[in-house]
Amino acid sequence: MDQADITCEVLVVGAGPTGLMAANLLKLAGVDVRIVDLRSGPSRESRAFAVSARSLELFASIGLADRLIERGAITSGVDFHVSGRRVGGLDYDKVQAPDTPFPFILMVPQSETEAVLIDALGKAGLEVEREIEVTGLDQASDQVRVTARRADGAPVAISARYVLGADGAHSIVRRALDLSFEGAKYPQSFLLGDVEVDWPLGHGRFRLFMQGERIGLFFPLQGTRLSRVMTTDLHASDLHADAPHAGDDPSHPEPLALEELQASFAEATGQPASLRNPTWLTRFRTHHRVVDRYRAGRVFVAGDAAHIHSPAGGQGMNTGLQDAANLAWKLAWKLGGTMRADAGEAMLDTYETERLPVARQVLRMTDRMFTVAAGQSGWRAHLRDLVAPAVLAPASGVGAIQTAVFRRLEQIDIRYPPSCAVAPGAGMRAPAAQLSRHRDLLDVLAGYRFHLLVLSRGALEADAADGILGRFAAVSALGVEPHLLTRQAGGRRDGIEIIERGDVFDRYGVPPDDGQASVLIRPDGHIAWRGDGVGVAGCMDFLTQSIGLAGSGRPDCR
């Protein structure tokens, strides 16, 4: 970047997973986007480690899921150990979740997640502009003027239509907006290491150990080559009170010796564990905080800049990725000139009304998980160890409980309230379904764009199918990709998906016999509108009246 000034439609501040996902989606949508980061290079530590089923569906929609999976470790559940003995766990092989093709936990270092997103961004023709520190911003009626400086101190002036702050827990964007960031740090301090582990329990399962006040965690990352281990730091002092949590950029890392981590981990697990070849060792304290607003005028926050959680459940990064998916298409449609001015502002407001409640709910869940598992001391910790086997063992054998926990942790049951972006009765995530021996609905929904599904449970003759296809031109002109899903249509033609099994009809509530239904799915994978029959006209009404589309432009996000 040779010029002193940067002008763009959207400036993304921060090149962690949330910022990188946002930049990828905005670029895919045809937005003139730039992304800057204070750091000289991408993360080398693992930091965030678990990618949820919902996030994998997002990666799949832009063709990146396989690249991510091949870099990580698939684990099918969690084992709980108390006083050195396994007392139960979550077995995802017992989970009933046929509506996602990813019924597992993907353990992958954050550095690998960032590498996949950076590579995709480069192929799209956009590079992260590094060693640029944002120092302030000023909003005008039609733009945001951002001040920044390079590593050598040279000033940089940036002008953007909109700014997204994805710059972590210590976000300068959030501070510049003077957003509230309510919460606190947990009292416990932790030791963390990404290491090779020799022990008798294997490397294929996520494990939680409870041993009085000592808590241990084991996360498989890359087979026997790399695992993450964490334990409670019972010798913590106030020196660590302000250390950032493991998901943040550790600007003030606390030193940790491998020998100390090994001794603490062996004590917590009750196992003869040997740790070697560390790639990251640190002490940290984790926080729980959330902003009061996601938007202030032309500036938005996402990811750790908007919410930070305990590491419990691996929710933080995944929540940030879904923040990015929710916002990017709304900015693209607003900037593309396809919406009435009043409708565009209302659409941007739905980013906060949809995502802020999710962040608060995730914060409550992770806070409860953390408090139960790691937030006990003294007699309460010993009481937990006595009670836990009686609770965990029976629950581990109940498939309904396993399924409920899976769906909550994997973020696949999140539903958005009615708004200009969600019709009454809609808002849930669009479920996946196997359409044929070799094709899933997620293949049809590929690409970060709107899709209209017209589903016909009954077989269609060729002329009936052609009649439906003829109605698709109107929604196509508004940037929506239409599909007819039916059992028969007189041969394969563009726009028709031949269905070999009825799962998709059941999941989308298509009436029995020869029933038909229509479903409009947003780029972020949530259902925007649903109608009975061949509802092309109803879909058009929703797009033009509720969403406020006024003409064709860039919203197809191709």
pLDDT tens for residues 73-119? 898 888 999 998 999 888 888 888 999 999 998 998 889 999 999 99
Looking at residue 254, its pLDDT comes to: 67
CA dihedral 519, 520, 523, 527 (to 10 degrees): -60
Domain boundaries, the chain: 434-547
Mean pLDDT of the 122-137 span = 97
Global pTM? Answer: 0.93
Q: What would the mean pLDDT of 456-481 be, rounded to a whole number?
A: 93
Under 8 Å between Cβ of 340 and 550: yes
532: Cα separation from own chain's centroid: 31
Residue range 353-374, pLDDT digits in tens? 999 999 999 999 888 877 777 7
Residues recorded for the chain: 558
- pLDDT above 50 (res 245): no
Q: Which two tokens stand for residue 337?
A: 């000139």
Question: Which of the pair, 259 or 249, is modelled with greater confidence?
Answer: 259
Query: Between 518 and 405, whose confidence is greater?
Result: 518
Contacts 24+ apart (CB under 8 A), 481-484: 481/447, 481/449, 481/450, 481/451, 481/452, 481/556, 482/451, 482/452, 482/453, 482/454, 482/536, 483/444, 483/451, 483/452, 483/453, 483/454, 484/454, 484/456, 484/460
Residue 518 has pLDDT above 60, yes or no: yes
* pLDDT confidence bin for 249, thresholds 50/70/90: very low
pLDDT (average), residues 415-437 = 97
Is the pLDDT score of 558 beyond 50?
no
The fourth-level CATH superfamily of domain 434-547 is Glutaredoxin (3.40.30.10)
Contact 223, 197 (CB under 8 A): no
Mean pLDDT across the chain, nearest whole number? Answer: 89
Confidence at residue 3, expressed as pLDDT on a 0 to 100 scale: 45
**pLDDT for residue 250:** 37
* Strand order through the sheet with 274-291: 85-91, 77-82, 206-211, 214-222, 226-232, 181-198, 274-291, 307-308
The sign of the torsion formed by the CA atoms of 345, 483, 442, 398 equals positive
- Using the predicted structure, report yes or no on whether residue 4 has a pLDDT greater than 70: no
Q: What is the DSSP letter of 547?
A: I
Sign of CA dihedral 310, 315, 318, 323: negative
Q: What average pLDDT does the segment 287-316 reach?
A: 91
* Model confidence at 251: pLDDT above 70: no
What pLDDT score does 510 carry?
Answer: 96
Distances (CA, A) of 320 to 17, 61, 309, 476: 8, 17, 11, 31
Q: Which pLDDT does position 467 carry in this prediction? A: 94
Choice between 364 and 123, residue whose per-residue pLDDT is larger: 123
Average pLDDT over residues 481-491: 87
Query: What per-residue string of b and e applies to 427-445 under the rule 16 or more CB within 10 Å gives b?
Result: bebbbbbbbeeeebbbebb
What does the alpha-carbon distance between residue 63 and residue 19 come to, in Å, rounded to a whole number? 18
Helix, strand, coil percent values for the chain (each to nearest 5)? 35, 30, 35
Query: Within 10 A of 123 (CB to CB), how many other CB atoms are there?
Result: 10
The CA radius of gyration of the chain, in Å to the nearest whole number, is: 24
Cα torsion 272, 277, 278, 279: sign: negative
What average pLDDT does range 162-173 have in this prediction?
96
What is the per-residue pLDDT for 96? 87
